[in-house]
Chains A and B, each alone.
Chain A
Amino acid sequence: MKVCLLLLSLILPTLAFSQSKALVHGQAMKLDKSTGKMLISGQVDGYDVKKEMRFQSDRLELLRDTKTDEISFAQVNGDVVVTQGLEYAVFDHGVYQRSLSLLTMKGHLILGNDQSRIEGDRAVYDTELEKVSLLPLPSQQLKFLFHQKNPDEPDNPTPITGVADEVWLFRELKKAILQGHVEVNDPTEPSQFKSGRVVVFFDSENQLDEMTASGGFHMTQPGRSSNSRRAVLNYNTRLITLLGNAKVQQIGEGEVQGERVEMHMDVKKGFIRGKRQKPIRIEIPLN
């Protein structure tokens, strides 16, 4: 999730005030003095010692401002890989424009770290707002994978996968917003939920901390079906809170309705707790 910043701080001079430098190697460097454009080609390999970031590509093009000498434009092409520690970004084509404070990455885009991974077609990074927006190819969806804590085996977190029409990443906030036809699959329960919009919060280890779904929430688990307007899934407590017109049907335990319903993620542990003034309605089948 942090990875977009890697590219920025390496090739791209958003942090120019820090005067960081990158060492770049290639097979050839072409400098067009009439335009001021510098093109480095052939197994381009760059490294920023200060940030311990490495980047590789087929070509790197840099353009400096004629007055300030600041890099005003940068472009990378062909099998671009940016790494910093466990974080990485892979794509085909990247463009940075200082005047717009935007970095655009395109083509077979993968952003990730040791705990998460998002696949799509393009991403736009707003360097002022430190926000990344990821989009898929037309008529396709972004694929994502996050890891959640495994209470039984803390060292072996379990994956959660899914798709969405659009993803926003906020590095500093350790937050992501999944938007549009969001589907999340948890193979451990197993469970699946769909929602219009999901806000994801990560902990310090980049593992799933919490998900907040809005714009309708529909979850299916073996023996249980849940619906509500909104929902909060807490991966520390392993509790799900349904909010707004909540309705849960669980085989053998009947149906629960209310404005707020809490239940365990693990269906076997059952539920259920209703809160607020409005009483919850529970229907228990009498066999």
Chain B
Amino acid sequence: MKASLWGLVVVVGLGLMVGWYLRQPPEEQVDQVEEEKPAILTSIEMKDYLGSVVKVRLFAKQAKVFEKSETTDLSEVYGIIASKKPEGLPTKIWANQGKLSGKTKLMTLTGDVRVEFPEGRVLETEVLVYDQQKELLQGDQPVRMFGRGDSVDAAGLLYFLKTEVLTLTLPSIEVTL
């Protein structure tokens, strides 16, 4: 009798323990993704070709190449965009940083971005995106452009390299008459 009672107690006890165990929330599983270590290159030069012609030459003091994400972080960027005209002068670009995306073919330039157009106008902004596929420069940050008798402050810009047409939104222009 005593033995069967003890057996019952043990069974009930085990049942409670199993029930308690099953009620416990599962332990959180923390993904431990290792940060991708980039390949670091210094004093680099990159070239973008159109056929056999160099369309864009890009220089940077340092490049961090992330292979998996297909991105490259650049610092102290200097770019030369060739003119569409055979004898035309190039457009030059400077920026503190740049981020190249291999997937989207976009290059985002940030920090003291400066563009010097061949005719002498200079454009300054903080963020500028260069779309390699569409061949355009785009920015939605405040822009300042000066030179050739005009000084412009605008809310954003769009520059089609193919047509050489620059559009500034909400411009405020000081025109020398």
Contacts and interface: CB of A to CB of B under 8 A. Distances in A.
Co-assembled chains A and B:
yes
Interface of A: 9-13, 15-16, 19-34, 36, 38, 40, 46, 48, 62, 64, 66, 69-71
A64 B168 contact: no
B175 A24 contact: yes
B165 A31 contact: yes
B171 interface: yes
B14 to A, nearest CB: 79
Contacts of A23: 172-175
B23 interface: no
B119 interface: yes
Nearest to A13: B177
Given A29-B168, A33-B119, A34-B164, A21 B148 contact: no
Contacts, number: 84
In this complex, which of A24, A29, A38 has the most chain B Cβ atoms within 10 angstroms of its Cβ? A29
Nearest to B119: A33
B135 to A, nearest CB: 14
Contacts of A36: 119
Given A23-B175, A25-B171, A28-B169, 17 more contacts: A10-B177, A23-B174, A25-B170, A25-B173, A27-B170, A28-B167, A28-B168, A30-B166, A31-B165, A31-B167, A32-B163, A32-B166, A33-B117, A33-B164, A34-B164, A48-B177, A64-B149
Interface string B115-147: 001110100000000000000000000000000
Q: Which 8 residue pairs of A and B lie closest in terms of their CB atoms, listed nearest first? A: A29-B171, A33-B164, A13-B177, A31-B166, A29-B168, A24-B173, A34-B164, A69-B149
B154 interface: yes
